[in-house]
């Protein structure tokens, strides 16, 4: 459950970053 929740949140964040083309967001995940 926890892992799935994290994946869902990460996926949402990554999707927003790609839409906004914000490299800062993706860089933060690294």
Rounded Cα distance between 30 and 15, Å, is 15
CB–CB of 16/25 below 8 Å? yes
Q: What is the tens place of the pLDDT at every residue in 1-30?
A: 677 887 787 777 666 666 666 666 655 555
What residue spans define the domains of the chain? 1-30
User: Rounded to an integer, what distance in angstroms lies between the CA atom of residue 10 and that of residue 5?
Assistant: 9
pLDDT at position 25, please? 61
Q: What is the pLDDT of residue 16?
A: 65
pLDDT score of 1? 67
Instruction: Return the pLDDT at 24.
Output: 63
Residues sharing a CB contact under 8 Å with residue 23, sequence separation 6 or more, in sequence order: 17
């Amino acid at each position: 459950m926890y892992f799935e929740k994290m994946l869902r949140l990460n996926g949402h964040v990554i999707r927003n970053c790609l839409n906004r083309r914000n490299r800062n967001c993706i860089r933060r995940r690294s």
